[in-house]
Amino acid sequence: IRAVGDPLSRFEEDALRVLRAARFAAPLGFDIEPATRTAMATAAAGLRHVSAERKRDELRKLLLSEKPSIGLFAMADSGIITFTCPDLAARIDADPLPGERGRITWARIDGVAPDFVLRLIALLYDLVPEKADACCAVLKLDSITRKAVVAACSADLVDASAPWTPIDVRRSLSRFGVRPILDKLTTARADSIARIYSVMSSVSATPLSAEETSSGMLIPPGLFILSSQRINPHGKLSRHGHAAGK
């Protein structure tokens, strides 16, 4: 990805182009030309003067691309995230090793289905609910999306690593509903895989294969008893990896 003419001049004309360059890199799988990347870092502060709605729309398009990790890495590398979601930037900067720089986060996002809410949850998964909600507020997301993200980031929702009894399942479904629990478990599974890959790779985020991203959730067989329900092929359970049918 290369800016036309002088990249710094292009970014000063419209600071949103800094974010757009990272967004273009994601669906195309392209690198960003060095001079353009340098200018992105220089001009990133101009995003302070760009409306939250415009930044939100670019982030939405980036998260819905095939491999958002490419664009998100460029955002972190050039400092764009600081002016998009400060709390997330602080979390990424706190990674213990310089080489980490959000590597687990990027792999986790690649590992969930291209649904905006689900990928937003994967992006903010490491934040406490208050900070996740603050990021949503900065981006002026609607209340339904904010509630979904905060619920999935809450430790009260479900401990994805602990065994569940049928009573736990019924209680959680009654309290939170199906969608938040499925979002939490789907993201927890992608997070587990991302952390395993982080150990295996010391250079950059390792993308999850198509087989791994589509093989279902971190739910033991028989955990959900659906004897009285049918899974709608276009419904919530189906899009989280469960086959249509009874």
CB-side neighbour CA atoms (13 Å) of 167:
0
- Structure confidence at residue 40 as a pLDDT band (50, 70, 90): very high
**Is residue 198 within 8 Å of residue 173, measured between CB atoms?**
no
AA identity, residue 66: E
109-162 tens-digit pLDDT:
999 999 999 999 999 988 888 999 999 999 999 999 998 898 888 766 666 566
Residue 22: closest CA among 92, 102, 76: 76
For 30, 110, 145, 214, 218, the CA distances from 186, given in Å and listed in that order, are 28, 12, 17, 11, 7
193-209 tens-digit pLDDT:
888 876 665 444 444 44
pTM: 0.74
Return the DSSP state at 85: -
Distance CA 223, CA 169 (A): 8
Q: What is the pLDDT of residue 158?
A: 62
Q: CB pairs under 8 A, 24+ apart, for 179-182?
A: 179/148, 179/236, 180/148, 180/151, 180/152, 181/157, 182/217, 182/236, 182/237, 182/240
Distance CA 88, CA 82 (A): 8
The backbone torsions φ and ψ at residue 93, rounded to the nearest 5 degrees and listed phi first, read: -65, -20
Sequence-ordered strand ranges (E) for 90-210: none
Find the distance separating the first CA and the last CA of the chain, reported in whole Å. Answer: 47
167-190 tens-digit pLDDT:
877 777 787 778 888 888 888 888
Distance CA 64, CA 228 (A): 34
Residue 208: closest CA among 69, 96, 107: 107
